[in-house]
Structure 1
Amino acid sequence: MEDVLVLHESDLQHLNRSVELALEALEAGDEPFGSVLVDADGVVRFEDRNRVAGGDHTRHPEFEIARWAANNMSVEQRAAATVYTSGEHCPMCAAAHGWVGLGRIVYVSSAAQLATWLADLGVPASPVKALSILDVVPNLVTQGPVSGLDEQVHDLHRRFRTKNS
């Protein structure tokens, strides 16, 4: 069940940046995903875009954020941080997020939306089951999807699949 999504202006700025990073990924020939790690003071600590086009399908930005946070933030800092992302974490990234102990996740589009979009585009099913973050890390605080911005992400996925079909 998804509650009414209440976001602050700073949340929207970080979400917009995650969509910009997804566009950068698309323009670089990669699948359109982008993510931003923000500390408790609102400072962007790390950001990245998808980098799986080279063949390493673990190069998701959310996974890179978890790696970076584990090496550069204390346990307390990680727990107080927020990850803003263009798409809900896949199971691999959700597990990394949980193991590292990162805090809240705010995502533009959900895994269920992505699965529907890709199926509508005739993309074969992923080898990894699409799960909600909460199916992997049940006690995590999550918010999403974000109406309006999710259509921007949908468009990026359409563009990627059209360009690569």
Structure 2
Amino acid sequence: MRGVGCRNIFQSGQRDIEVSGPHLVEEASRVHIGYYDQFRLSDQEKSLLRRAIEVSARSVANGNLPFGALMADPDGNVLLEAENSDITGKSPLNHAETNLMRLAIEQLTPEQIATATLYTSCEPCAMCSGSMYWGGLNRMVYGMSEADLLQYTGGHKLNPTMTGVGCRAVLQSGHREVEVKGPFLIDEASVIHRTYWTS
């Protein structure tokens, strides 16, 4: 990937991480950020995104954070679903989208992943966006944006939401194109977050 160095990611969070380098090298960085285009979801895609939002509610019911994702083929058939499992899995790396990409790599062919669309209740973080890129995904649709999420999470220790490094900055900085659509159904996606982070 180009344009999204470690500094962009580390310095966009809720806490400081010191970064030293590069040394003995002149580095020029350029960030290519895609712009949200006005795009309407089909009824089928709205249904799939709503199902991802339902998975986020199921994640909470199972003792985890309110995030959910699914992968569907070009005909809208759901191939896989995944919840966040940070708490029960005892790892802050168990985000819904990363869990989903792990499952996809284990259970699907590269061709199935390449032609699928990932639907997620919230805009993916930098880690999850990276897992999509490296996992071979070519299209993603999300509900609530990270900026919207930050209104609810603030500096919550379980979800120190990053700002300034949206999924587009990560996914559109690589050497292949990844289509990103969102945010959509923001009110529906945010319902569970309105009370979760204050309870």
Question: Same fold, TM exceeding 0.5?
Answer: yes
Q: How many residues align?
A: 159
Superposed displacement of residue 126, structure 1: 5.1
Q: Residue 197 of structure 2: SS of its match in structure 1? A: helix
Asked whether the 8 Å contact 1:37–1:82 carries over to 2, the reply is yes
Which 4+ residue blocks in structure 1 deviate beyond 6 angstroms? none
Once structures 1 and 2 are overlaid, which stretch shifts more, 15-24 or 131-140? 131-140
Q: 1:1-40 maps to which residues of 2 (within 5 A)?
A: 1-40=35-74
Find the partner of 1:50 among 70, 77, 84.
Answer: 84
TM-score (norm 1): 0.86
Asked whether the 8 Å contact 1:37–1:83 carries over to 2, the reply is yes
Cα deviation 1:51-106 (Å, max 9, x = unaligned): 11133111112111111221222222211100001001111111010001112110
Superposed displacement of residue 28, structure 1: 2.6
Q: 1:142-161 maps to which residues of 2 (within 5 A)?
A: 142-146=180-184, 149-161=185-197
Distance change >3 Å, CA 127–CA 156, structure 1 → 2? closer
Q: Residue 69 of structure 1: SS of its match in structure 2? A: helix
1:82 aligns with 2:117: yes
Aligned AA for 2:47? Q
Consecutive unaligned residues of structure 2, counting only runs of 5 or more, are: 1-34
Distance change >3 Å, CA 129–CA 60, structure 1 → 2? same
1:132 aligns with 2:166: yes
Distance 2:51 2:96 in 1: 13
TM-score (norm 2): 0.73
Superposed displacement of residue 39, structure 1: 1.5
Asked whether the 8 Å contact 2:121–2:143 carries over to 1, the reply is yes
Aligned AA for 1:49? E
Asked whether the 8 Å contact 1:31–1:157 carries over to 2, the reply is no
Asked whether the 8 Å contact 1:40–1:77 carries over to 2, the reply is no
Percent identity among equivalent residues?
31
Richer in helix (by share): 1
1:62 paired residue number? 97
CA RMSD of aligned residues (A): 1.9
2:131 paired residue number? 96
Distance 2:121 2:181 in 1: 12
Q: Residue 41 of structure 2: SS of its match in structure 1? A: coil
Once structures 1 and 2 are overlaid, which stretch shifts more, 69-78 or 30-39? 69-78
Once structures 1 and 2 are overlaid, which stretch shifts more, 93-102 or 149-158? 149-158
Distance 1:39 1:123 in 2: 35
Asked whether the 8 Å contact 1:78–1:101 carries over to 2, the reply is yes
Please say which structure displays the higher CA radius of gyration. Answer: 2
